[in-house]
Amino acid sequence: MAQDGHRVTGWSRWQAAGWVARRELLEFVRDRRTLVITLLLPMISYPILALSTTLGLRTGVMEAEARLAPTKVTVAVSGPDAQGFIARMRGMIDATEPADRKEWPAEAVFEEINAAVAQEVIDSGAADLWLHAERGMLAGLDSDRTVSVTVQSSTMRPPTNAVRGQFLALMESFIEDARRRRIENAGLPGTVLDPLALRLTGDQPRGELPVGEIMNTVAGGVLVLLAVLTMTGAFYPAIDAIAGEKERGTIETLLIAPCSAHEIVLGKFLAVFVITLATLAANVTSITATTAVSLRLLAGNAPQSLALTTASGIAITLIVFIGLAAVGAALCLAVTTAAKSGKEAQNTLTPVILLVSALAGAALLPGMQANRLLPAAPFVGHVLVSHAAFTAAESEEATSIAWPLFLSLGSSVAITWLLLRVTAVMLTDEDILFRGQDSAGPALARPSRRALPTLMQGAIPPIMGLAALWYAQAFMPKDLLVAIPAQQAATVLLPLVVLLWWQRVDLRQTFSLRWPGCGDGLSAGMGLAGGALLGAGVFVIGAAALLALRGDGLSPEAKGLSERLVGLILSQPWWLSWLLIAVLPAVCEELLFRGWTLAAFAGRQRTAGRVALAVLAQAFLFAVAHVLPERMPQTFALGAVLGWVTITTGSLLPAIVGHLVHNSMPLVVLFASDCPPDMVLDGGGGGLPGIDAAGIPTGAVLAAAASVIAGAVLIQAAARLR
Amino acid sequence: MIEVVDLVKDYRAGDGSVVHAVDHISFTVAAGETVGLLGANGAGKTTTLRVLATLLKPTSGTARVAGYDVVADPVGVRRHLGYVSATTGVADRLTPREIFTSFGRLHGLDREATATRVERLLAGLDLTSCADRPAGRLSSGQRQRVSLGRALVHNPPALVLDEPTNALDVLGARDLLSMLGQLRGEGHAILISTHRLHEIEHRCDRFVIVHMGRIVATGTRDELVADGAGLEDAFFVAVSRRVF
């Protein structure tokens, strides 16, 4: 049948995506309640935050000023040595140059009184403090003993902080004077107490409140909040875009339009991205206006030192956060694509937002800097680069921000592209698209037996493990002999056993419990040898990469762990260390990540795209489960490689062997080399005990690369024999 | 216009077993013909239609629409196919005009052609009075007509409808089926799946009865129905015979 004379226009990917985006935006702007929440939230969040911060800062500034402002201090002195003490104090005051009277009172009055009326005097306010000079006090000052003096104040009229602080500063000078007299009386030169005269130029004068530093810290907090609120801009549109369409039954109408899943996803992304950008704009506008108001509230309290309002800082933040908005929009879309209803999407997306908050907040941890490749990390990098932009603007080093900015934007584009590809694969996945409704039942009723765990069940044990890791810290013993088995039991085995009890599955399929290849000796040997070569190679290459990327040093946590592991290896029999460091984690973690989680993510209908996504997703969880940021790149790489090995060979055994060899490498290095314990204790490679922080020889890296290639070839060969 | 040959679609159930949702079925629908795909719930009707709509990939066999293969050229199929189902919703916050326009443009019609087509559809489907009202405020019958209009906006030669009258009352169902009659008259090939046999007994040229994924009977009403009986009786006889 003819097309009824209708002309078909030039068909392009962007046109289709544009119409999908237009349709999405039309729908979203008509959802007024969500729109108001998305755009109004920032308008009230920042003023509330700023009000509390500014008022706190203002109070702090005023208190500091009051404390530091020179005031008159009156001290009533009683006792047999009162006269002598007053004379000596006045002599000291007269002999001190004005420049050396740091934090002294403007005027110090010492008056002799009778001890019987002293309390009355300070209670009446005639004196701020009462000092009783016992007999022999002056003689004691010039001897080599310590003289005890009690200075009392009135409980009815307590002295101000300024009086207390300035009196103490004066007494510090008095004590210093007495100290010098003792030195002179002993016939020693006065310089005996001054082995080094240190002057640090440009130092913050003592007593001045570091408003700039405080505001930079506040800026960090605001940037984290900005990251989270920008993500919330993507929250509802993303839920509505795919999960909402599934719930309304409109997704099929889009999928049968003559365009690809990629074009549909691109269109939906553009719509969510626009809303996220609008949220970002509302946030930045609110921040800028709120900052202006805050500065006015702070009045003249060092607003010049604040770098917050610099145009370049705000401009760079805007650019960086456009990247964050893109990653956030794509991440929200990807996460909600697996959901079949808005409610399910909310349940899935909420923990992701919390994870993003944690990642953004990690940028404020001590030692985190926008150097090396860290700006490429999503959310952490975005906040780091933006924060650095303010610092750089302040110190006129704006050019230093160019590379981190480029890296952040480049990685945002790459991550967004990857997430959109993943979303397109998931959008047309038949398992996900036509997944039936979850059967309702009693809360504690166990679901019916399945061949493999569901997608959600795959993610639950690692998340439970992370939570257990946090709570177990309070009870975890310091001794690694107990801590390692306890940690594996609490964070890996217990969640796995609970889920296995809850959801009965085919154990052989879920945990790939079979020999690699066709099961004969040759293919099994090739599979296991391949796993071992990959494990060894990934360890060395990962350690070398970590050394190149880790920047200025290890976090105290990573260094502490490294030291404790080396301590364990050196103090215990080798087989016990090997059991704890290599065997136990290899078996437990492989059962969880490459067994349960990978099987759940890969599902029953294994398309290439879904399998790749499953391998990357379980590797991500594996990396996160290792907590320390320095370890994450290496553990992600190991998780991805072992995931590929398991999928390719159809067996978990090569992955267990690979993990075992990987974790055995520190022992091998320690026992095979002459590496002295104190050297490895001084911060191993990226927190990996046994690796010299000075670097890994190029030959070793090349050998490791050859090991990885050989391992991959053996794995492929074993797989062909299946 | 619609051609299904030896089509198979298997699923893996939660327990790992294989379910043959569609098991070697073949049929055709010619231009200007209406074919009823009949079957109980779970017979494989929806799966067959989803394969035709390119939402599912067949395990084996072929399915073609206007000569385009659902696997080799899914975009070609979508350009020549309109798809409506009882579960196919309409965007609540968009008006019928906006829904038609956006899908017209998605199907590659230019602005002028889209506007002309949208006005014709609104009038033909008796939606002019509510053309600018959000679809969420329309009645079930109106919403189903919007769904039909959305499927027809690019004037496809083939139309596939999966239980389109499920959510409609008697009057709504009669209106919709009358419109389908008009479309058949205009030369559209129509494949309609339903288990409400009485509604389409006299509106289809041929019937294909499926049971447990397999065709158990096929033919015109006269070929299937014995003297004095109805289509429902023929359906029971075919299903009780199990496999054709």
Give the chain B residue whose CA is nearest to the CA of A264: B106
Q: Measured between alpha carbons, how far is A269 from A17 in angstroms, rounded to an integer? A: 9
pLDDT in tens, A622-655: 988 887 777 788 899 999 999 999 999 999 999 9
Nearest to B48 by CA among B213, B211, B165: B213
B101/A contact by beta carbon, under 8 A: no
Per-residue model confidence (pLDDT) at position A528: 92
Q: Is residue A215 part of a domain?
A: yes
A11, A30, A433 member nearest B93 (Cβ): A30
Return the structure tokens found at A426: 């998931």
How many independent structural domains does chain A possess? Answer: 3
Q: For A384-405, write each residue's pLDDT tens digit.
A: 888 888 776 555 555 578 888 8
Mean pLDDT over residues A331-347, rounded? 87
**Which residue segment(s) compose the domain that A652 sits in?**
509-721
pTM of the model: 0.69
Single out the residue of B94, B16, B10 nearest to residue B51, CA to CA: B10
Which CATH number goes with the domain that contains A84? 3.40.190.10
For residues A620 and A678, membership in a common domain is answered with yes
- Please tell me whether residues A705 and A637 are part of one structural domain: yes
Residues A571 and A615 in one domain: yes
Alpha-carbon gap: A605 to the closest alpha carbon of chain B (Å): 8
Q: Look at residues A385, A419, A435 and tell me which one is the last residue of a structural domain.
A: A435
Helix ranges (H only) for A428-520 are 430-433, 455-472, 480-488, 494-502, 507-510
Return the residue of B nearest to A12 by Cα.
B108
Phi/psi at B41 (5° precision) = -60, 135
- Residue B167 forms contact with A (CB below 8 Å): no
Which of A435, A470, A492 is where one domain is finished? A435
Residues on chain A touching B14 (C-beta within 8 angstroms): 448, 450-451
Q: Is the pLDDT of residue A162 over 60?
A: yes
Distance from CA of A329 to the nearest CA of B (A): 22
Identity of the highest mean pLDDT range in A606-610, A649-653, B40-44: A649-653
pLDDT in tens, A90-99: 999 998 888 8
Could you tell me if A164 and A48 lie in one domain? no
- At residue A471 the predicted structure's pLDDT band, cuts being 50, 70 and 90, is confident
Do A146 and A265 fall within a single domain?
no
| Average pLDDT over all residues of chain A | 81
Tokens 């329309």 found at? B138
Asked if B83 is an interface residue toward chain A (Cβ–Cβ < 8 A), one would say yes
Q: Has residue A276 got a pLDDT over 80? A: yes
Is residue A430 within 8 A of residue B47, CB to CB? The reply is no
A147 to A138, A140, A165, A175: CA distances (angstroms): 9, 6, 21, 11
What Rg, from alpha-carbon coordinates, does chain B have?
18
A295 and A376 inside one domain: yes
Strand-by-strand arrangement of the B206-211 sheet: B81-85, B158-162, B189-194, B34-38, B206-211, B214-219
Integer CA distances (angstroms), A59 to A204, A293, A307, A324, in order: 20, 16, 21, 35
In a domain, A345, yes or no: yes
Find out whether B103 and A16 touch, Cβ atoms under 8 Å: no
Name which of B53, B56, B155 is nearest A4 (Cβ-Cβ): B155
Examine the fold and report which residue of A435, A457, A481 is the final residue of a domain before the chain moves on: A435
What residue type is B166 in one-letter code? N
- A634 within some domain: yes
Q: Is residue A204 part of a domain?
A: no
Report pLDDT digits (tens) over A475-530.
777 788 888 898 899 889 999 999 998 888 989 999 999 888 777 888 889 999 99
**Does the beta-carbon distance from B90 to A3 stay under 8 Å?**
no
Residue A46 lies in a domain: yes
pLDDT digits (tens, 9 = 90+) for B95-137: 999 999 989 988 888 888 899 999 988 988 888 888 899 988 8
Q: Are residue A76 and residue A159 in the same domain, yes or no? A: yes
Quick one: A344 and A429 in the same domain? Answer: yes
**Is A255 contained in some domain?**
yes
Return the percentage of chain A with pLDDT > 70, whole number.
85
Nearest CA-CA partner of A121 in A79, A168, A74: A74
How buried is residue B77: exposed, middle or buried, by Cβ count under 10 Å (0-12/13-18/19+)? Answer: buried
Pairing of strands B206-211, B214-219: antiparallel
- Same-domain pairing of A674 and A525: yes
- Is A697 among the domain residues? yes
Please report which confidence band the pLDDT of residue A5 belongs to, taking 50, 70 and 90 as the band edges: very low
The Cα–Cα gap between A647 and A605 comes to 13
Proportion of chain A above pLDDT 90, given as a percent = 23
Residue of chain A minimizing CA distance to B1: A1
Q: What is the reported pLDDT for A392? A: 64
**B221–chain A nearest CA distance, Å:** 26
Mean pLDDT (whole number) for B172-187: 83
SS3 state of residue A154: coil
* pLDDT confidence of residue A6: 40
Within a domain: A148: yes
B23: which strand partners?
A: B8
Q: Are residues A163 and A295 in the same domain?
A: no
Please check whether residues A35 and A90 belong to one and the same domain. Answer: no
Q: What is the mean pLDDT of residues A87-92?
A: 91
Contact across the interface for B110 and A255, Cβ inside 8 Å: no
Which of A4, A31, A451 is the closest to B93 by Cβ?
Answer: A31
A343 and A425 fall within a common domain: yes
Is B15's CB within 8 Å of A19's CB? Answer: no
pLDDT band at B228 (very low <50, low <70, confident <90, very high): low
Interchain CB contact of B54 with A (< 8 Å): yes
Q: Is B153 helix (H, G, I), strand (E, B) or coil?
A: coil
- Chain B's closest residue to A600, CA to CA, is B14
Cα–Cα distance, A423 to A636 (Å, whole number): 21
b/e burial code for range A219-232 (CB count within 10 A of at least 16 → b): bbebbbbbbbbbbb
State whether A1 and B109 contact (CB < 8 Å): no
